[in-house]
Chains A and B, each alone.
Chain A
Amino acid sequence: MIVAAVALGALAFALAWPVPVALSRAEWPARSPATALVLWQGIALGGGLSMIGALLAFGASPAGSLAGAANALLPMAAAGPIPEGFGVVHLAALTLAVGLAVHLALNLATTAVRAERARRRQHRLIDLLASPASESTGARVLAHPVPAAYCVPGLRTATVITDGLVELLDEAELRAVVGHERAHLDQLHHLVLLAFRAWHAALPWFPIANRAERSVAMLTEMLADDAPRRRVGVEPLRTALLRVGSSGASAAYDDSPTASAASDERVLERRLARLEADLHPLDPRARSATWLLATAIVAVPVCVLAAIAA
């Protein structure tokens, strides 16, 4: 039991510190963003599981198994003496494990509810204000001079562009922009982002959560760039990015420009650099190995917990 706790603890530490730092600094994710995204998900899920698992394994160690600990402790939960062999540290570890699990789950739920509410409001206003989808692009158009494009994900989706954008860009560039937003919707990027945003909201003091969220957001943008790049070509996408970025009008609207603008700019720079460099994807063997690694990261804590369950 103690061995399992130490092993899970070591895994949790590795996934909470050196591994995500290395991954967020690595260059290869720009070449194969989908693979990197899978690895990030493995790290987040595996990290959470092994952290909670380590606490559980340590807390249950006096009873020899998780089921044994539950049998010994649950009848005494409301009142009664602490069973033989259990110390205060064990009980604290178990409480922490349960608390952490509940905290993460609740945060995921509230983040999802808040996002859903914001989306519903968006749909209501879009229905009221935007023109119906245009035939050439399939996007809805808002009468507003600031060039902007965005999408509302969810069960019901919408892609919205503004008059200002239609004026700024030519036909191919518009199709590239709409293709980018469509890719976000088709590939359900909001679900991946939601999980990482909830993780960040649950652990705001944890620098890696922030780093992970930014890296994942960057990867989803790169993935969304790849769809129009294949269909419309690199040039329209690149000039569209440059034109919308250099219009600079959106800066006037942001009420917290410092931190978010800096990170948005970095995302834009990396996307442009990536389009220019025309990177080759990772070779298939490296990609399979990464997928395997991501699976293993999640499977190991699950297997360890299963082994000590009974």
Chain B
Amino acid sequence: MLSVSTDSRFVHKMWQEHELSKMVDGGVPFPMLSDGGGRIGSVYGVYEEAAGVDVRGRFIIDPNGTVLAMEVLTPEVGRNVSELIRQIKAFQHVQATGEVTPSGWQPGKHALKPGPELVGKVWQEWKEEMAFD
């Protein structure tokens, strides 16, 4: 986990010590990166020049360095950590098994084996109610 904002490393230190450590027991354990000038955010498509900040953007990167998922929100709405973890587990399941995970998949739920036999038969394997928790 790496967090990034346009704040300096000095501000990150103060935020950790004066606020985050009061929200999260022991404070956040991951590196807090500084993107002054928004050059990194620009490359990732999240830098908002008018405000001089990186908007809320979340990228899942696998051990090979490939971007597997991205989610970008305007700042007012926070993220869903459960959904983040579900997506990481889904990508790990796909890489480990070669199966693919349909809408609503959760660890332990039915995944699909892609191949010619499945064409036109997904309706037998996946039902609408499976889209929901």
* Binding between chains A and B: no
